[in-house]
Structure 1
Amino acid sequence: MKRFMAMLLVLTLSGSILAGCGAPKETAGDDNTPPAVNEQKPAENEAVEGQMAKIGLGHITSIAKSKDLEGEKAPVGQVDTVMVAAGFDKDGKVIKVTIDTAQTKVEFDKDLQVTTDVAQNGKTKVELGEEYGMKKASQIGKEWFEQAAALGEWMVGKTVEEIKAMELKDGKATDAELASSVTVSVGDYIAAVEEAYNNAIEIGNGAVKLGLGTEISMAKSKGYSKADGKETLPVAQVDTVMTVGAFDADGKVVGTIIDNAQTKVQFDAEGKVTTDKNAEIKTKVELGAEYGMAKASTIGKEWFEQAKALGEWMEGKSVDEIKSLKVKERDESHKNVPDVPELTSSVTITVESYIATIEEALTNAK
């Protein structure tokens, strides 16, 4: 009996020892854990290298090419607006960029009456495409829109400082590779991409495309008139709406910037330009409180505040959802004012142009 109990004790102890020598249980982070388990995913709002983290809009407007009435030469109000929409990664490198220019002319006759069809919207150089007519005069046989696209492609992957370091001669690129595809002067486009970076706003994750939408109106231009002792002097007015949109893979807005350059070239009764042709032309956003909407606003908000609120409302929505915004007519000049609770306290401007340009931004997005 004693021998049996001794043998039983030996077997029990042997089993315990074997159990203690068994393979250890796997624990999280152990060296034996597959590498994929140890990979850290970025936080929900954390910027990822190589993806758009910010978007910006840069622009430069000039009226320097406007002309007086001189003999048989009729006066012209010319507004040139350079526009650059750019997306940047977390390190400030350009991820996406679109370059365009609106060269808009309002022509008058010798009697200072408007001869341009101001009921038609103007077109940018990119929109004009082959119609712009640079190719026939280009030494490299490329249209303006092709050269602008090539310049944008060269900017991708570079920081603004690297772009600004481009060597120029008479405003044109001297780099042999770039000079073979870009012969236009590039100074304004470099300045505009720098402005886009300096004014860039942060956006959420998921942006894969960036687009620029524009709408150009000359409808508020006027010729000379005099009635009942009241004189109306000629003015060429060009309103250039610019909207930058960043979109996710499903076409929903991830971020947006809305601005409007309301530019006037004024003439006297003799057809001479009276507006300072060398003055800095500011957009409504750049004018800020100087634009003066707050004092006349029923909600006490400036134009730039309302444009920002509208852009923020667009985020997370598809273009179709944005286009379905319920609107109301406030007066003859404001026929499409938002009529939804989330906007009535922040947006009282008419919004049709901004909805049209976010749609165009998506159409043009790349």
Structure 2
Amino acid sequence: MKKMLSVLLATTLAMSMLAACGDKDTNDAATTDNTATEQQDNNSTSSNDTQTEVAAGEIAKIGLGTITSIGKSKDAEGDKGPVGQVDTVIVAAAFDKDGKVVSVDIDNAQTKIEFDKALQVTTDLTGEFKTKQELGDEYGMKKASSIGKDWYEQANALADWMKGKTVDEIKAMKTTQRDESHPNVPDEADLTSSVTITVQDYIAGIEKAYNNAVDVKAAGGQKLGVGQSISTSKSKGLEGDKTPSAQVDTTIVVGAFDKDGKVVGSIIDTAQTKVDFDKDGKLTTDKAAEFKTKNELGDEYGMKKASSIGKEWNEQAQALADWMAGKTVDEIKAMKTVDQEGHPGVPDEADLTSSVTVSAKGFIEGIEEAFTKAK
């Protein structure tokens, strides 16, 4: 009897243990399924949030690519004084969440500073300097064009071709060499009748814009615009031991705007390029050198040490761009400013006084121009 009772107890205990183990496995499986479901829901929520933030076809990122050359600058020769020529290719672009081009603006700031044989500046340094887009038909390429189109028309046709494509698809463009000065002319069926200029710098510019692209600050971006201004006021002729120098400052403001005209993102930059000559009017700046914008120079620009707030130029430009986000152009133009020696229009807004001490006047004018030209 005792033996039978022992066997019965052992059997009952074993069955209880099996039942307990079975319940644990079932609970663990349920917990795992719940965790997976929760994770899936979170991922779905994240995906939906992203979709809500930037919808298909809207601007997700904006970028700026610049390429500067002084290759066409000339030494003094005979009765002809030297010439400092700065060519800055400007490619501003907006990209969607898949990296496809939503909008692109292609331009070229071709600026010449001329000197006489006495090495004095003859160019009017207070004059207006226009980019090729701004010159339009005044640039004068239409008459010489085999397709009867001026530079701006060809640049716009190239920009239209880029829309809807990724940078890799743009880089895959078929090209042909027309002559030594035109090594990369489009050889695409839908471009041969509209673009005969060489395009290598503009393709490099769109790639650079993509690599430098920054996220917009808000959803709803529909249009992209670019404002630029060119100053040569710091150019100087020969004076005592000081040799001639042509300096071109090309300020660029890129703006992305929503349907209500509010800024969803902006980029502020300046290409400050110097072309130096010796006392005989011979070029001393390396034509093959790489010329960086202030943003590209970063800490190399060297303003931080002299800054009263300890911030470099690119940091201050970024702070101003961030402040513009969410505002209309009229709200930006209403910024309170104060004029300081050599710096007109320094921000006097409480949320900018600790981050921006550079003159904002030119940048405000730039964002207004960008809005006017936005498309």
Q: Residue 312 of structure 2 corresponds to which residue in structure 1? A: 302
Amino acid at match of 2:175: L
TM-score normalised according to structure 2 size: 0.84
Q: Tell me, which stretches of 5 or more residues in structure 2 are unaligned?
A: 1-45, 178-183
Match for residue 259 of structure 1 among 254, 269, 272: 269
Alignment of 1:165-314 (within 5 A): 165-170=172-177, 171-203=184-216, 204-226=218-240, 231-314=241-324
**Distance in 2 between the 1:343 and 1:294 partners?**
17
Q: Residue 339 of structure 1 corresponds to which residue in structure 2? A: 348
SS of the residue corresponding to residue 122 of structure 1 reads: coil
SS of the residue corresponding to residue 100 of structure 1 reads: strand
Q: Residue 99 of structure 1 corresponds to which residue in structure 2? A: 106
In 1, are the aligned partners of 2:54 and 2:220 still within 8 Å (CA)? no
Deviation at 1:121, TM superposition (A): 2.9
**Distance in 2 between the 1:256 and 1:42 partners?**
26
SS of the residue corresponding to residue 109 of structure 1 reads: coil
Higher helix share: 2
Deviation at 1:184, TM superposition (A): 0.4
In 2, are the aligned partners of 1:42 and 1:48 still within 8 Å (CA)? no
Deviation at 1:336, TM superposition (A): 1.4
**Distance in 2 between the 1:262 and 1:364 partners?**
24
Q: Tell me, which stretches of 5 or more residues in structure 1 are unaligned?
A: 1-39
**Distance in 1 between the 2:79 and 2:300 partners?**
39
Match for residue 368 of structure 2 among 351, 359, 363: 359
Match for residue 49 of structure 2 among 37, 43, 50: 43
Mapped pair 1:155 → 2:168: no
Q: Residue 181 of structure 2 corresponds to which residue in structure 1? A: none
**Distance in 2 between the 1:263 and 1:146 partners?**
27
In 2, are the aligned partners of 1:224 and 1:269 still within 8 Å (CA)? yes
SS of the residue corresponding to residue 53 of structure 2 reads: coil
In 1, are the aligned partners of 2:228 and 2:250 still within 8 Å (CA)? yes
In 1, are the aligned partners of 2:59 and 2:96 still within 8 Å (CA)? yes
Deviation at 1:41, TM superposition (A): 10
Q: Residue 86 of structure 1 corresponds to which residue in structure 2? A: 93
Q: Deviations over 1:84-133 (max 9, x none)?
A: 11000111000100100000000111111111111023100000000000
Deviation at 1:175, TM superposition (A): 1.4
Q: Deviations over 1:2-61 (max 9, x none)?
A: xxxxxxxxxxxxxxxxxxxxxxxxxxxxxxxxxxxxxx9943763222211111001100
What is the root-mean-square deviation in Å for CA atoms of aligned residues? 1.3
**Distance in 1 between the 2:323 and 2:129 partners?**
28
SS of the residue corresponding to residue 263 of structure 1 reads: strand
Q: Deviations over 1:315-348 (max 9, x none)?
A: 11111111111111221x1121111110000000
SS of the residue corresponding to residue 284 of structure 2 reads: coil
Aligned length: 322
Amino acid at match of 2:68: T
Q: Residue 19 of structure 1 corresponds to which residue in structure 2? A: none
**Distance in 1 between the 2:222 and 2:161 partners?**
19
**Distance in 2 between the 1:46 and 1:349 partners?**
33
**Distance in 2 between the 1:66 and 1:249 partners?**
44
